[in-house]
Structures are given as C-alpha cells and as structure tokens.
Amino acid sequence: MRIGITCYPTYGGSGVVATELGIELAGLGHEVHFISYSQPFRLNGRDEGIFYHEVPVSNYPLFEFPPYDLALASRMAEVAEFYALDLLHVHYAIPHSVSALLARQMLASRGRRLPFVTTLHGTDITLVGLDRSYLAITRHGIQESDGVTSISNYLKEKTIADFGVTRPIETITNFVNCDVYTPITDADVRAKARLHLAAPNEAILMHLSNFRPVKRVVDAVKIFARVVKERPAQLVLVGDGPDRSAAEWLAHDLGIHNKVRFLGKLERVNELLPLADILLMPSELESFGLAALEAMACKVPSIATRVGGVPELIDDGISGLLYDVGDVNAMAAGALSLLNDPTRLEAMRCAARKAAQQRFCATLVVPQYVRFYEQVLAQEPEKYSRSLTA
Ligand code: GMT
C-alpha cells in the first residue's frame, strides 16, 4: 500500500505513534509518505520506503493567522495524486481530519478516490476538541472519516459520549517496538551505564513528557522530594515544555536541585529508559500513556495516576502502581515500598516487560492497522460516493 501519514511532527505522543507506525509499515514493505510542516522528529531521513513532504504555509499581510489547515489539504491532495496514495492516515483529529476531508473532496471532483483514517489520541477529544470553537468541526471531521480508530477504549467511549459520534470507532492501542525498547540484561553493563546519571547506591526515578500542565511534572518533583528524604536517589527528567521552569524552581526551593537532572528533549529515549528503576507518570489525564508503555518494554514499571486509559495499560499492583491524581504522598510511599523490596520490584519489572511484549508489541498491533486500512479500502465505491455527496 501507499499510505500518507499526517501528524504533529514535534514533541508529543501522537507524533511519536504516527512516526513509529510509519517506520513499522515501511518495514513491512509499504510505502509511507509523511505530510507535515516539518520532519517528524524520530525520522532520520534514511529509512527505506519513507518519504517526507513539507507543507509550505505562505503568509500574506491580510492573514492574521496563516491558514495551515488549507495549505495541508492542498498538499495532501497534491501528494496523493503525484504518488498515487491509496489512503491517508491522520493522527490527532484537529485540524488533520478536516484537511483530509477537504483533500478527499478535491480529488473526488477529479474522479479520484482518497479515503482517510483518523486516529484519535487524547487532547484532540478531551480538551481542545471540546472547546466551543472547535467542537462542531471536530465532530464533522471524525464523523466523515472513512475509518476512525482510538488508542484506548476510554477515549473511544469519551468520543461517543462527548461528541455524539455515531460512526463506528475501532480501538487499536498504542504499541512499542519490543526489539528497540528493551531492558539491558547484563547487570554490569546496566550498572556502568547508570553511573552517568547516579551514584551506585542511588535509585533512578525518571519522568518523560512534554512538560505540559496535564503531565503534572511538578508532582514528579514533589514525589521525588519525599523519596530522597528516605533513601539515596536521583530524579532524571527527559523532555521540555511550559512547566519546566516551575519544576526547576521547586527543586531549588526544596534544596534537592543537585539530585534532579533536566536532560531536555532527547530522541533516543530507548537508551535511557532501561537505566531507570521507576518511571513517574503523575498526569492529570492520559488517554493511553505511551511513555509508560515504552518504559514497560524496557522493564521499568510506573508509578502513575488512575486516569483515562492508563488502567487499560497498567495492571495496578502487577505491572505498576496507580494512584489518585495529586496524591503525591501515596505515590512516594508506593515508590519507596518498591525500592525497599527488591524482590517485589523485580517481579513488577518482569511483569511490565511481559505485558508490553504480550499485549502492546508492534508486531501484534501494526498488523491491526494494516487490516483496518484493507477494510477501509474495501468499502464499496458507491457507498463512498454517497457519503461524499451526503
Ligand atoms: O496530550 C498530549 O500530551 C499529547 C498527546 C498527543 O496527541 O500528542 O498525547 C496523547 O496521545 C498519546 C499517544 O497516543 C497518548 O499516549 C497520551 O496519553 C495522550 N495524552 C493525553 O491524553 C493527555
């Protein structure tokens, strides 16, 4: 198949999933064309079968807001035509599903078919899409998609309840490449690599996010402050975003800044995650929690919040521990109980890796997308043209 993928290419879970999906699809022999305003950050330009098409957005003095969604629609139609795309797969409903809808209409008027699949990721449904200025158009984009997938059952139910979407939505969970995200099995190698981040007697707690308010990175610092009072430890924060300054200030105010390391945005998180003992994911909301899955594949369990789709990923008490949002005392106590009981921690580490392998491995999930594309492509052309004119 020749598949066009559109996503937010910068730091963010939906862009990561879209990029990893493109890489996996190309690995299966499909031709993948990314269409976006910049190169998705996990692409290196060297992957066979992957092409990148930038969306130029020209400005004009009349435009206070350059219309990216229109430029995207034009580019989608252009790329689909030039490269004979079979379908488009857009990640994050706003505005990508609407641009795809326009591209589909543009090509239909020229007698060419371009179905599109929309994958719902999170804040497109739970936050941004609920804003009055976007709600109706987001619902329209979803409703008019040729296929819709959601990354968790939670998000699927939320879309039906809050947007009144009546078309079927298929849950296809996020996934991880279990050969790229792996534990470091040699204890000596792992111990040596950890020395870059912590002293041998220190536990490593890690947090990985885009530091937006929804991630509650400040809670990660609060949890760590309670842990480090009781035992030697380091907090390693990977990523960057609006709440970084608040987290840095808190670490200084609490006098623990020499134990807190901000590594910034990094690409090869698969090399860092296996060095952690525990991942902290104290989010206000997660429709899935991709960072926790990537950590699980590296044999790292999470202390996380019982929100959104997280309970579909983490089996509380088995592959991680779940708490109420903001309950930093309980989360710190949970982290300490694991760190002070190496046998229990090891059992949880093994369960985390096993869950990633058995339920969320790319080899299991990516074929679900391929089957879904085939179903969309098999939809009868008459039905397709009816939906276009309806
Ligand atoms: O909202 C974000 O934090 C970013 C967002 C995105 O779309 O980039 O992440 C969402 O999608 C991820 C990948 O599917 C999920 O793992 C995250 O749980 C989800 N974030 C939220 O629901 C807050």
Q: Which CATH number fits the domain that encloses residue 312?
A: 3.40.50.2000
> Whole-angstrom Cα distance, residue 110 to residue 125?
33
Residues 336 and 244 in one domain: yes
Mutate to test the pocket of ligand 1, among 288, 305, 306, 310 (most ligand atoms within 8 A of CB): 288
State whether the beta carbon of 121 lies less than 6 angstroms from ligand 1.
Answer: yes
Burial class (CB in 10 A: 0-12, 13-18, 19+), 319: buried
H-run or E-run covering 304: strand 302-305
Residues 31 and 69 in one domain: yes
- Write out the residue range of the structural domain in which residue 230 sits: 187-360
Residues 367 and 379 in one domain: yes
pLDDT of residue 389: 45
On whether residue 224 sits in a domain, the answer given is yes
Least confident of 232-236, 291-295, 368-372, 376-380: 376-380
pLDDT of residue 382: 55
Residues 155 and 279 in one domain: no
pLDDT of residue 159: 96
Residues 153 and 219 in one domain: no
> Whole-angstrom Cα distance, residue 385 to residue 127?
33
**Tens digits of residue pLDDT in 287-323:** 999 999 999 999 999 999 999 999 999 999 999 999 9
On whether residue 180 sits in a domain, the answer given is no
**Tens digits of residue pLDDT in 39-95:** 998 787 778 999 999 999 998 889 999 999 999 999 999 999 999 999 999 999 999
Residues 316 and 287 in one domain: yes
State whether the beta carbon of 17 lies less than 6 angstroms from ligand 1.
Answer: yes
The structure tokens listed for 188 are: 């000596």
Residues 217 and 127 in one domain: no
Distance, CA of 166 to chain centre: 25
> Whole-angstrom Cα distance, residue 276 to residue 362?
22
Report how many domains make up the chain.
2
On whether residue 138 sits in a domain, the answer given is yes
Helix (H, G, I), strand (E, B) or coil at 24: helix
Among 113, 249, 261, 96, CA closest to 194: 261
Residues 122 and 218 in one domain: no
Q: What pTM does this model have?
A: 0.94
Contact 41, 9 (CB under 8 A): yes
pLDDT of residue 387: 47
Q: Which amino acid is at 193?
A: A
CA-nearest residue for atom 19, ligand 1, is 122
**Tens digits of residue pLDDT in 163-197:** 999 999 999 999 999 999 999 999 999 999 999 99
> Whole-angstrom Cα distance, residue 281 to residue 294?
12
CA-nearest residue for atom 7, ligand 1, is 14
**Tens digits of residue pLDDT in 119-165:** 999 989 998 888 999 999 999 999 999 999 999 999 999 999 999 99
Burial class (CB in 10 A: 0-12, 13-18, 19+), 197: middle
Distance 17 CA to ligand 1 centre (A): 10
On whether residue 165 sits in a domain, the answer given is yes
On whether residue 181 sits in a domain, the answer given is no
Residues 147 and 194 in one domain: no
On whether residue 228 sits in a domain, the answer given is yes
Contact 301, 321 (CB under 8 A): yes
On whether residue 182 sits in a domain, the answer given is no
> Whole-angstrom Cα distance, residue 27 to residue 279?
30
Residues 209 and 282 in one domain: yes
On whether residue 52 sits in a domain, the answer given is yes
pLDDT of residue 381: 62
**Tens digits of residue pLDDT in 89-125:** 999 999 999 999 999 999 999 999 999 999 999 989 9
Band (pLDDT 50/70/90 cuts) for residue 380 is low
Bridge partners (DSSP) listed for residue 366: none
Residues 143 and 92 in one domain: yes
Residue 316 φ then ψ, to 5° = -55, 125
CA-nearest residue for atom 12, ligand 1, is 13
> Half-sphere exposure (CA, 13 Å, Cβ side) for 112?
17
Residues 354 and 259 in one domain: yes
The structure tokens listed for 288 are: 């899935």
DSSP labels, 136-166: HHHHHHHHTSSEEEESSHHHHHHHHHHH---
In sequence order, what are the residues at sequence separation of 6 or more whose Cβ sits closer than 8 angstroms to the Cβ of residue 21? 5, 89, 175, 366, 369
pLDDT of residue 251: 98
> Whole-angstrom Cα distance, residue 189 to residue 271?
12
User: For residue 271, is pLDDT > 80?
Assistant: yes
Distance 210 CA to ligand 1 centre (A): 10
State whether the beta carbon of 14 lies less than 6 angstroms from ligand 1.
Answer: yes
Helix (H, G, I), strand (E, B) or coil at 305: strand
Distance 180 CA to ligand 1 centre (A): 21
